Amino acid sequence: MPPFAPDLAVAAIETGLGRRVDEVFATFERTPVASASIAQVPLRDAKNGTEVAVKVLRPGVERAIARTCC
């Protein structure tokens, strides 16, 4: 599936972490390196210099899965 809007990914990350991305990451590439049906993965450089992959669930995916499950 195509990537979803970078602003939605940023909002989800900030909500999940309870902090702004610039407080956690030294650099913040908005383009994901992978995108799939339930999530996408952008790379980030953490403040400690480590490159990390951040898995971001697609907006509304939990509801969609709950509707189809059990």
Reported as a single tens digit per residue, the pLDDT across 4-37 is 888 888 899 899 999 998 898 888 777 788 887 8
Q: Domain span at residue 33? A: 6-68
Judge whether 21 lies within some domain. Answer: yes
What pLDDT score was predicted for residue 19? 94
Report yes or no on 1 lying in a domain: no
Number of domains present in the structure of the chain: 1
Q: Residue 36 falls within a domain, yes or no? A: yes
Who's near 25: CB < 8 A, 6+ residues apart?
44, 45, 46, 47
3-state DSSP assignment of residue 1: coil
Residue 56 lies in a domain: yes
63 domain residue, yes or no:
yes
